[in-house]
Amino acid sequence: MTTSSQTTDPMIGRLIDGRYEVRSRVARGGMATVYLAIDRRLERQVALKIMHHHLADDEQFTQRFIQEARSAARLSHPNVVNVFDQGQDADSAYLVMEYLPGITLRELLQEYSTLTAEQTMDIAEAVLSGLAAAHRAGIVHRDLKPENVLLADDGRIKIGDFGLARAASANTATGAALLGTVAYLSPELVTRGIADTRSDIYAAGIMMYEMLTGEQPFKGEQPMQIAFQHANDTVPAPSSVNNRVPAELDELVLWATARDPDERPADAGELLLHLTEVQQLLQSSPQPVTGAQPTMVLPASATTVLGATAPSTAETQVLGPRRTARTAAPETPAEEPAARLGTRTRARRRRGWIALLLVLLLAGAGVGAGWWFGAGPGSQVVVPDSLAGLTPDAARDALIELGLEPTEATGEIHDPLIEPGLVAATDPAFGSTVNRGTTVTLLLSIGPQMLPLPTVIGTQEDVARPALEGAGFTVAEESITYFNAEAPAGQVIDLLDAAGSSLASATEYGELQQTTLVVSLGPIPDVAGLSPEEAQQALEAVGLRSVLGDSEYSDTVPKGNVIRAIIPEGPISTGAELTLITSRGVEQVAVPDVAGEPWSKARKVLEDAGFKVKYSPIADVAPGQFRVESTDPAGGTSVDKGATVTVQLTFRG
């Protein structure tokens, strides 16, 4: 994560879940933002990690966020950041973690560039201790890098950010998008998208290389160039860049970064064991100094200098964030020989004790191995959460491989995310540490729990959305919108399920299942009588397009103006195209020439032609006795269809 300005952050001052008061922003990353908060219930500072709102509707990101909580919560180790709580507040998914004031290993490297061999081993020892605990719990970190190694002010070193963690037995491919930082990706992640414990070992080896040399082994202008080098090139020995690196550390780094995962340590525990041996060897065999090495100096209130003999793996101490100089004050001539003599004396004593300890260890190795795998911790296994989503048969095979006894009978459990019929949980639960041979019952998903569905049709969208989310359903970020003459803009006119079917008549729906709101855009504007330009502007104002179609005669709409808009069939949304029909004006027809015709015949001809006829009413008394003398307009004249023709009649006698 990278630090960021918080002047406009709306989360500052907010109370999350009625418990966590957000005080300030600490960092912001690709998935979430981390804040310093106060836990009002326990009156302590905590780190509050809140997932970005735009990812909340993305099931993949949400599950990855929840996975971080589950993965980290299963670990209890001095070198792993503790996770206290996880929850949802309105539209904010969050994690609550311990707050560690201090810096990251990245910041330390930015300030000092190259660390000494002793400092590198101290930090690596703490990192591998925490990583070994994760591997024993069946968890692969998959994003190990200096940014995720926290160096606390009080000297503690902890691994954080298990956001990409997966079960160690899952070997899940990541797909096209490689997860993790490219500079620390193992070759198998680049080429096959598959990670296991050995992928973490590769990342740890790259980190050790960077601490010893001040640079990463592979460089490139584009991420894919670096990824290509990871997949095809061998990591060089750190001593090729820094000739002060001991040969033993060279070998350790090259072993951890072997391109073939089968040639690396199997897990962090194995690499930690060999790192400890290298530490002991280097302490008992002083290395020749070929050049000055920068020394880190602490203020009086800070913690123990890296490279000093650490009391234990869990309590390895590092620099605090406030360093004021790069070189220590020189020792006096009297102090220097005395210090060296004391160091050598202590080293000889340690060598004697180490030799005795090795003899005792070798003598008891057989007994210890038998106890470990018989009655000790080696006889226990972790029920893996990688069983989730498997078929019952596949899950049983995985349990048998771990030395557990799956039952033939299965149980049932509601699960909103796992397809019915697949494994959703186990008894004992995922993450439980049990003895080999323990009976495990598979709990199969029967789909989401049905919850009452609130009535939202007829309400405004800004009311319907929180009502659905508060009732336990997922609402698609983008609503479907249609023009509707019966509902004002913003009103919900339908609710769809995940398959796109209407939920208008439903009273229940599955927990966390997706719904989509169908919202009215209001009626399509009435453009009759407007000029084409005015009609086009009115339609564009609501997101509709228009084209000119045919023109028609109209007795009511002036020539050139719009008579009507032809609307396509089906629901109309923004972007639809309407055809405008314009007026030709009133149709022109010729007045029939009826002069000299008997009135009874002439009248019928005029009326059949659509004209109104004006004449002397007396002609109706004896129509057969009158003839047409003339018409106004005269016969053959073009006039508006439906116009009035005045007829002059002559009595025939």
Catalytic residue numbers read: 143
What distance in Å separates the CA atoms of residue 445 and residue 431, rounded to the nearest whole number? 18
DSSP calls for 282-330: HHHSPPPP-S-----B--TTS-PPTTSPPS-GGG-----S---BSSPPP
Rounding to the nearest 10 degrees, give the CA dihedral for residues 593, 596, 599, 603.
0
What distance in Å separates the CA atoms of residue 530 and residue 524, rounded to the nearest whole number? 14
Amino acid at the residue 573: S
Three-state SS sequence of 52-69: CHHHCCCHHHHHHHHHHH
Residue 96: phi and psi, rounded to 5, are -115, 120
Output the six-digit token pair for 523. Answer: 């009626």
What distance in Å separates the CA atoms of residue 63 and residue 167, rounded to the nearest whole number? 14
Helix (H, G, I), strand (E, B) or coil at 377: helix
* Residues facing residue 435 across a β-bridge: 380
Peptide bond preceding 294 in cis form (omega within 30 of 0):
no
DSSP letter (8 states) at residue 129: H
113: left (phi over 0), alpha (psi -120 to 50) or beta: left
Token pair 């202008």 is at which residue?
Answer: 221
CB atoms within 10 A of CB 618: 11
What distance in Å separates the CA atoms of residue 138 and residue 131, rounded to the nearest whole number? 11
* Residues facing residue 24 across a β-bridge: 36
Spatial CB neighbours of 58, under 8 Å, sequence gap ≥ 6: none
The rounded Cα 449 to chain-centroid distance in angstroms is 25
Q: What ranges make up the beta strands (E) of 369-418?
A: 380-382, 405-406, 411-413
Asked if residue 479 lies in contact with residue 439, where contact means CB atoms within 8 angstroms, the answer is no
Spatial CB neighbours of 339, under 8 Å, sequence gap ≥ 6: 331
Alpha-carbon torsion 253, 257, 262, 263, what sign?
negative
